[in-house]
A and B are shown apart, each in its own frame.
Chain A
Amino acid sequence: MNDFEFHSPSSLEEAFELLDRYGDDARVMAGGTGVVLQMKQRLSQPGHVVGLRKVPGLNSIGLTGNGSAGGIEVGAMVTHRTLENDPTVVQILPMVAATYHHVATPRIRSMATVGGGLVHGDPNEDPPPTLIALGALVVLTSSSGRREMPVEELFVDYYETDVQPGEILTSVTIPQQPPGSGSAYLKFLPRTADDYATVSVAAIVTRGNGNTCSDVKIVLGAVGMTPVHATQAESLLRGQTLTPENIAACASAVKEVVDPLDDFRGSAEYKRDMAEVFTRRAIEQAIQQTLENRPAA
């Protein structure tokens, strides 16, 4: 690892001052699980590392809004394990708890933070597909103000996000699933239980009258340079009857938009096929959940 200076600001203002002073030569550190590895491998050689561990106010999980219009607001430094075990999250956003539970191992989840996981920008990560499907927003704060952005727009390229030098991701707002919807996050793990996904799919299906699909969200991970939101595939199911044929047509359409890499987790061709299979299964599970969640007549 190269030599650098480590800073432990005790307020956001102090952190912004450091980031502004050192510009491109500064790197934010949260849990460190991504950034320390990159520094060990010399993929990143910052002169200044700004640790957020002592910055107050980034560690809470709170409710936003009311009833089904509400959701949760998660501070950037909340760890994966804290989020997945939070009773409110488990109750109102079980899909989020389940998705974070799929990340790596309990040890990594005790260290890795929600903010760090997003700014890491690795397209193989588990949380982004689920957060995009739910329409989550991030708040980016800097010395010159604050901007909100859908998680979907955060990812620019392989390990590249729209977070600018000087900005800190301070919180993530996650809306609840629409009423009448069901969801699933499937992570295909043919190698070991602690691996990154070979292919992953987040699906949310909202049921309209009868057996129709009033809305559907399908977002895939590990099949491109960024998470892939399969909007074209969604449009084949939205407004249609939830028949096996329509579901199959929708799942098949994801093959047109995924662009996986050939690697030790599988060939590009295999991953493309698995993207279809896991999309179909995710939609089926989400539909099953809409039936289970339906209030008794």
Chain B
Amino acid sequence: MNQQIRLTVNGTEHRSEVPARRLLVDFLRYDLGLTGTKEGCSVGVCGACTVLIDGEMAASCITLAAAVDGAQITTIEGIAQDGKLHPVQQAFIDHGGFQCGICTPGQVMAAKALLDENPNPTEDEIKAWMMGNLCRCTGYYGILNSVAAAAGSTPGSNA
């Protein structure tokens, strides 16, 4: 059954008609062409599909687009401003926060959510927060160092 939905994605309002079973990740990727958001596990575990819904971190692979009608969605495409990368994006480049890159949009969105709420996290707070974003490539220290750098603290020594 089709439903009318209104979602504001990265500041742009979209009114669409979608099947009720349309997942948010598919709405973003296939209906809007915003393929920066990735799908890994499809069951809420890996974090590749992380987006912000009204500022809160969420797994778009287990969210129905219709269920978040009216919400503000922020994806990886929406965080650079005026052609300048978001500090978290820049830090991932500068500190080896990614290799193959498939997990990276989710990592960056998770890190952004953390820093929006807690601009000066400790190393333990970064680890506890980022535990839900899996990476098969980096060994995690590059990610940890990138998040710490974006927060303005000194990256760890394991880079």
Contact = CB atoms under 8 A, between A and B. Distances in A.
Interface of A: 1-6, 8, 29, 32-33, 36-37, 39-40, 49, 51, 53-54, 79, 81, 104-108, 110-111, 193-194
Given A1-B21, A37-B44, A105-B132, A110 B57 contact: yes
Contact of B67 (A1, A3, A29, A40): A29
A33 B64 CA distance: 10
Residue from B23, B43, B129, B132 whose CB has the most chain A CB atoms within 10 Å: B132
Given A3-B19, A4-B20, A194 B131 contact: yes
A115 B46 CA distance: 24
Given A6-B3, A36-B64, A106 B132 contact: yes
A36 B62 contact: yes
Interface string B14-25: 000001110100
17 contacts: A3-B20, A3-B21, A8-B67, A32-B62, A36-B23, A37-B44, A39-B21, A40-B42, A40-B43, A49-B64, A53-B67, A54-B70, A106-B110, A106-B129, A106-B131, A110-B56, A111-B59
Given A8-B69, A36-B64, A108 B132 contact: yes
Given A6-B1, A111-B58, 18 more contacts: A5-B3, A6-B3, A6-B66, A29-B64, A33-B44, A36-B23, A37-B44, A40-B42, A40-B62, A51-B67, A53-B68, A104-B44, A104-B132, A107-B47, A107-B110, A108-B44, A108-B59, A108-B132
Contacts of B69: 8
B159 interface: no
Interface string B25-53: 00000000000000000111101001000
Interface residues of B, number: 30
A32 B66 CA distance: 12
Contact of A105 (B23, B43, B47, B62): B47
B63 interface: yes
A106 B109 CA distance: 13
Given A32-B67, A33-B44, A6 B132 contact: no
B21 A4 contact: yes
A105 B21 CA distance: 25
